[in-house]
Amino acid sequence: MKAVVITRLGGPDVLQVKDAPEPTPSENQELVRVQTGGVNFADTMTMHGGYPGAPKPPLTAGREF
């Protein structure tokens, strides 16, 4: 699968599409195929370091799910 990764703090140039391992659902979970995703306001704030205490890059964008 592919993932949009925030590689470091900065502007849109810090986003990279990378291969990521397909997750394995646990018992009582479902795996959902996502065709498209967006970079939302929370992702943008994270890219710019706007959330104190947020995880440090690299991290996967796409909080709308």
Q: Per residue of the chain (65 residues), give pLDDT as tens.
A: 999 999 999 999 999 999 999 999 999 999 999 888 888 998 999 999 998 888 899 999 887 76
In a domain? residue 9 = yes
User: In which domain, by residue range, is 60 found?
Assistant: 1-20+37-65
From CA 16, how far away is CA 60, in angstroms rounded?
10
What pTM does this model have? 0.81
- Flag whether 4 is in a domain: yes
Buried b (16+ CB within 10 A) or exposed e, 13-45: ebbeeeeeeeeeeeeeeeeeeeeebebeeebee
User: What is the helix, strand, coil percentage profile of the chain, to 5?
Assistant: 15, 20, 65
Question: What sections of 1-65 are H helices per DSSP?
Answer: 41-47
H helix and E strand count, the chain: 1, 3
Domain count, the chain: 1
In a domain, 32, yes or no: no
